């Protein structure tokens, strides 16, 4: 057996314990009166409707003209994009073509404390009608919450001459730039135009050099820059004294798309959770008790490999929660539902099974007369393909569940949006758990076991399930 350096056990174990702690509690800081979250933990998980409750709202077009089926479908798809862009999969979305209605149910935000349904649906029904217009004429002026004037309702040439619309935008993202004069930072929204938008904007900036092209969100002017040069590369920015949150929210609205008509909320209400906070707390206690029993079993039956398995299982559980909470900057937060919890539990069971298979094979080789190093190497080799076969089939199933029952599912007409979203959640957490099993239950376990076997105190075969000597 190829020896693994002794420090490897401590390095791997400390990394797993660090991940476990930070994924559970997160890392937060205090800046004056503001609390900053640097790494998200379990408390940042967005719980699904079935656990935390949520909102039910009915939207209708704010017009007396009957909407077409295509317009209703377009509005529905945009609302769905807004949901999935926030990684909220635990939602239900229905259309009623006869009465021009869209019914949606979605969970509360994880940091929601006021539980105001009207506020919760506001960002969903926002029309986000972005337009670039010639000139900067407006009808009325109001004072904003910051005391600055807000210009509303375009008029004259500005009302009649639309240069770009939301459909001309390819992508939008929040950016930060440094003012070279003052040295202060400011937030803005960077836009990339599609081919048609690039052509329109190049023509407009050439025609209107030295003049104003105003930018409007719905009927509010958010910026009125003067054209200083012809822009032909299809890239521009929106500046409007934004905060970081405002720039990000505006970019998200533009990316999500503009609704085909303004929506009014004809009805909204709260949805009570099937599983309340007390039940969730009871589930947490039950999970801790179950994990403790598993730890005792692994230590009693498999001894040192059982101890290593416990550390690996902590890492697998931590990874599952980290992939849901938004712990990793490159992975969006995910709505945790009851089926999602079931996926984590099933994957933990697979992780326990993987460690038991490996430990059992090592024990069998020791009783067959192998040396300790030989038994560990042979046990690892003999157990790998059994673990691989079982886990790879579960990964395939999880991917099928996510592909078929996900946001772009093809079976919602058979099973309904509620069921398809729940199954997607189950597939997601199951997939992450099985990946964690390969990372921790296979790779990390074997590294730690081989590293420990290099210590003199850990050379006894009895510690690995062999005969006492």
- The pLDDT tens digits for 377-389 are 999 999 999 999 9
| Residue 276 pLDDT class (50, 70, 90 cuts) | low
Of residues 408 and 61, the one with the higher pLDDT is: 61
Per-residue confidence (pLDDT) for residue 450, from 0 to 100: 94
Q: What pLDDT shows up at residue 421?
A: 62
> What confidence category does residue 425 fall into, taking pLDDT thresholds of 50, 70 and 90?
confident
d(CA 229, CA 235): 12
At residue 223, does pLDDT exceed 90? no
What is the average pLDDT score of the chain?
83
Max mean pLDDT among 80-94, 248-262, 332-346, 435-449 falls in 435-449
| Overall average pLDDT of the 160-175 stretch | 84
Over range 259-269, report the average pLDDT.
75
pLDDT computed for residue 215 by the predictor: 83
Domains of the chain by start residue, with CATH? 7-31+275-464 (1.20.1640.10), 54-126+266-271 (3.30.70.3400), 130-258 (3.30.1360.200)
pLDDT classification of 181: cutoffs 50, 70, 90 = low
What's the whole-number mean pLDDT along residues 368-379? Answer: 92
Are the C-beta atoms of 171 and 192 separated by less than 8 Å?
A: yes
Highest-confidence segment of 158-167, 258-267, 393-402: 393-402
The model's confidence at residue 3, banded by pLDDT at 50, 70 and 90, is confident
Per-residue confidence band for 356, with pLDDT thresholds at 50, 70 and 90: very high
| Calpha distance 290→324 (Å, rounded) | 22
Cα 36 to Cα 47: distance, rounded to the nearest angstrom: 21
Higher pLDDT, 81 or 224: 224
The Cα–Cα gap between 410 and 42 comes to: 32
- Stated pTM of the model: 0.66
pLDDT of residue 318: 95
User: How much is the average pLDDT of 432-461?
Assistant: 93
Q: How far is CA 438 from CA 11, 106, 327, 388, in A?
A: 18, 33, 20, 8
pLDDT bracket for residue 29 (50, 70, 90)? confident
- Once rounded to an integer, what is the mean pLDDT over residues 328-333? 76
Least confident of 20-34, 42-56, 363-377, 400-414: 400-414
Q: Is the pLDDT of residue 417 over 60?
A: no
**160-186: average pLDDT:** 80
Lowest mean pLDDT among 9-18, 40-49, 196-205, 436-445: 40-49
N-term to C-term CA, the chain:
22
pLDDT, residue 12, reads 96
Residue 349 is inside which H or E element, if any? Answer: helix 338-367
Yes or no: say if 365 and 468 are a contact pair by the CB < 8 Å rule. no
pLDDT surpassing 70 at residue 256: no
- Over 367-391, what HEC string results? HCCCCHHHHHHHHHHHHHHHHHHHH
pLDDT at 152 over 90: no
Higher pLDDT, 223 or 194: 194
Query: Using an 8 Å Cβ cutoff, are 247 and 190 in contact?
Result: no
Of 98, 92, 70, the C-alpha closest to 80 is: 92
313: pLDDT strictly greater than 70: yes
Predicted confidence at residue 100, as pLDDT, reads 86
Q: Using CA atoms, how far apart are residues 433 and 412, in angstroms rounded to an integer?
A: 26
33-89 confidence digits (pLDDT tens) = 667 788 889 888 878 777 777 888 888 887 777 888 877 887 787 777 667 666 666
Higher-pLDDT residue of 125, 307: 307
């Amino acid at each position: 057996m190829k020896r693994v350096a002794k420090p490897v056990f401590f390095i791997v174990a400390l990394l797993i314990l660090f991940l476990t702690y930070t994924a559970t509690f997160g890392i937060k800081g205090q800046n004056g009166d503001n609390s900053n979250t640097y790494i998200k933990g379990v408390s940042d998980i967005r719980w699904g409707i079935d656990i935390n409750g949520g909102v039910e709202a009915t939207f209708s077009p704010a017009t007396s003209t009957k909407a077409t089926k295509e317009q209703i479908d377009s509005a529905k798809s945009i609302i769905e994009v807004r949901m999935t862009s926030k990684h909220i999969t635990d939602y239900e979305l229905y259309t009623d073509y006869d009465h021009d209605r869209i019914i949606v149910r979605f969970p509360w935000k994880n940091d929601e404390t006021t539980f105001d349904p009207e506020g919760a649906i506001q960002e969903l029904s926002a029309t986000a009608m972005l337009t670039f217009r010639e000139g900067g004429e407006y009808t009325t002026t109001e004072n904003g919450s910051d005391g600055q004037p807000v210009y509303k309702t375009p008029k004259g040439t500005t009302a009649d001459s639309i240069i770009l619309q939301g459909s001309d935008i390819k992508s939008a993202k929040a950016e930060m730039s440094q003012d070279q004069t003052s040295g202060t930072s400011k937030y803005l929204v960077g836009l990339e135009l599609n081919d048609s938008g690039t052509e329109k904007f190049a023509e407009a900036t050439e025609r209107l050099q030295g003049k104003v092209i105003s930018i409007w969100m719905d009927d509010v002017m958010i910026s009125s820059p003067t054209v200083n040069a012809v822009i032909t590369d299809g890239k521009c920015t929106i500046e409007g004294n934004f905060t970081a949150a405002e720039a990000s929210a505006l970019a998200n609205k533009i990316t999500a798309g503009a609704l085909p008509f303004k929506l009014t909320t004809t009805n909204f209400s709260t949805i009570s959770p099937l599983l309340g906070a007390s039940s969730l707390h009871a589930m947490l206690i039950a999970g801790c008790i179950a994990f403790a029993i598993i730890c005792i079993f692994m230590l009693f039956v498999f001894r040192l490999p059982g101890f290593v398995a416990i550390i690996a299982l902590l890492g697998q559980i931590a990874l599952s929660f980290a992939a849901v909470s938004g712990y990793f900057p490159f992975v969006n937060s995910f709505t945790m539902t009851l089926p999602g919890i079931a996926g984590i539990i099933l994957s933990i069971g697979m992780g326990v099974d993987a460690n038991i298979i490996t430990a059992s094979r090592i024990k069998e080789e020791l009783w067959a007369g192998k040396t300790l190093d030989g038994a560990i190497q042979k046990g690892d080799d003999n157990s790998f393909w059994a673990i691989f076969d079982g886990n790879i089939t579960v990964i395939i199933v999880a991917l099928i569940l996510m592909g078929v029952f996900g946001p772009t599912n093809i079976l919602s007409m058979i099973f309904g949006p509620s069921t398809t979203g729940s199954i997607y959640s189950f597939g997601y957490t199951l997939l992450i758990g099985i990946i964690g099993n390969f990372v921790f239950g296979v790779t990390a376990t074997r590294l730690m076991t081989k590293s420990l076997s290099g210590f003199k105190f850990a050379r006894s075969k009895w510690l690995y399930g062999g005969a006492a000597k």
